[in-house]
Amino acid sequence: MANSSLPPLDIAAGDHEAYLRHALSLAQKSPPKPSNYRVGAILVNAATNEVLSTGYTLELPGNTHAEQCCFEKLAQQHSLSGDDADGGSALAAVLPDDVALYTTMEPCSFRLSGNLPCVDRILQIGAAKIRTVYVGVYEPEKFVSDNSGRQKLQDAGIAYVHVPGLEKEILEVATAGHEK
């Protein structure tokens, strides 16, 4: 179920820091803006260590977040409509049973733009498919305070794992373009 057009990454299974470093390299492709964080995300088949999709903030048209881009690109790979990326059930049907999501920043639980929050996108796909979300940093409270994403994921049976060690680098990239 991997996307054969994605080059394989030379990352050992379970090397969470290496996956987050790659997600950070994706985040660097996002244009710096004062109104959003630059985030990178990778969907991985945990059983085979194959990358299913990648994304970064503003990669696709609109005010798109990294996780949203991952899901929309995956929907496109399987000839599903963009609405299927929002609904989740069609994506769940094409995903293997043990998917890991790596994202440089905690998935949002509220969107000021009115778009569907990334946590809700993950929950619509469900814990039967996305079993673990690995994050490099918790969402700073600059735009939205009290992100409830971690709790929502854990309540749904999705493991939430903070991978320490890259916080400074991730925040430097994420906040490029912001006033200091």
Q: What is the pLDDT of residues 138-173, one digit of tens each?
A: 876 665 556 688 889 999 999 999 999 999 999 999
Write the burial class of residue 136 (CB in 10 Å: 0-12 exposed, 13-18 middle, 19+ buried). buried
Query: Topology of domain 21-174, per CATH?
Result: Cytidine Deaminase; domain 2 (3.40.140)
Q: What is the pLDDT of residues 3-30, one digit of tens each?
A: 445 767 889 999 999 999 999 999 999 9
Does pLDDT of 53 surpass 80?
Answer: yes
What is the distance between the alpha carbons of residues 140 and 12, in angstroms, rounded to a whole number? 30
Report field, pTM of the whole predicted structure over 0.85: yes
Enumerate the domain spans of the chain: 21-174
Whether 143 and 174 have beta carbons less than 8 Å apart is answered as: no
* Band of residue 132 on the pLDDT scale cut at 50, 70, 90: very high
